[in-house]
Structure 1
Amino acid sequence: MDPQQSPDGTDSGISSLSFDESGVLRLVWDRGVDIDAPQAEAAMARVNETAGPDRVPLLIDMATTSSVSRSARAVFARPCAAAAIALLGASAVDRVLANFFLGVYKAPCPTKFFTDEARARAWLAEAADGR
């Protein structure tokens, strides 16, 4: 299935979703996307579908995300196939979005915000193994 399309054929807001060579599932949002509940639902469904029966480390590149609605944040607070989630951003706005989510909602698995991809990956390797 095309990552840009949700199961009902609407725009999911996802630019790409795939495993990298180290086994990390990487989700990249479209530039400037305003994530709403249907897009959050579609993203979670795609993560679960792609991961299959396994719980996997998930790297979410949110560097170009414009906003995340309250209803989308509630969707993201539900468990999914992720064993651990690293939120990768690039700006103070990204950090505020991530910290707001982490402060208001209980994340379904270990979740942390990073601006450095190498640190995010190192943390994911440890957190996904339950260390």
Structure 2
Amino acid sequence: MDVAAEPDGLVRLSWSPGTRVTGELAEIAMARVDAVNGDTENPLLVAMRLTAEVTRDARMVFARKCSANRIALLGSSAVDRVMANFALGVRTQPVPTRFFTDEAAALDWLRRGR
């Protein structure tokens, strides 16, 4: 997992292909996003291409409010879309959250929401 901020404040969270995202990993990821953001809220791009699984515990962590004010989930396959839709449909998200397969469209949506 990698978390980094861009000069305009946008934060990127990238999962390695094949990662099984557990509740523990989700907690670590959200703590890193919050640390990068500090006292501000910024848009978050989550690169989840070819993620193996997002566990129920992880979905519960992601359903809590963090320092992201908008979240774009970026995937590349039908499996990614199914996982994202399942996660988004199970609970109401604390901030606007959408799934994309096109990075430029995801970035445009995130930046328009500022």
The answer to whether residue 85 in structure 2 is matched with residue 107 in structure 1 is no
The count of residues paired between Structure 1 and Structure 2 equals 114
CA–CA distance in 2 between the matches of 1:22 and 1:65? Answer: 27
Amino acid at match of 2:55: S
Unaligned runs of 5+ in 2: none
CA–CA distance in 1 between the matches of 2:60 and 2:14? Answer: 20
Please name the residue that 1:40 is paired with: 26
Amino acid at match of 1:116: D
The answer to whether residue 102 in structure 2 is matched with residue 116 in structure 1 is yes
The answer to whether residue 75 in structure 2 is matched with residue 55 in structure 1 is no
The CA RMSD measured in Å over matched residues stands at 0.9
CA–CA distance in 2 between the matches of 1:41 and 1:18? Answer: 16
Moved over 3 A (4+): none
Following TM superposition, by how much is the alpha carbon of 1:31 offset from its aligned partner in structure 2, in angstroms? 2.0
Following TM superposition, by how much is the alpha carbon of 1:21 offset from its aligned partner in structure 2, in angstroms? 3.8
SS at match of 2:73: strand
Please name the residue that 1:92 is paired with: 78
Bigger Cα Rg: 1
Amino acid at match of 2:20: D
**1:53-94: per-residue Cα shift (whole Å, max 9, x none)?**
000010000002110001110010000000100000000000
CA–CA distance in 2 between the matches of 1:93 and 1:65? Answer: 9
SS at match of 1:87: strand
Please name the residue that 1:8 is paired with: none
Unaligned runs of 5+ in 1: 1-13
Deviates more, 1:43-52 or 1:22-31: 22-31
Please name the residue that 1:4 is paired with: none
- Match among 23, 42, 55 for residue 9 of structure 2: 23
Please name the residue that 1:5 is paired with: none
CA–CA distance in 2 between the matches of 1:112 and 1:75? Answer: 17
- Match among 68, 71, 81 for residue 67 of structure 2: 81
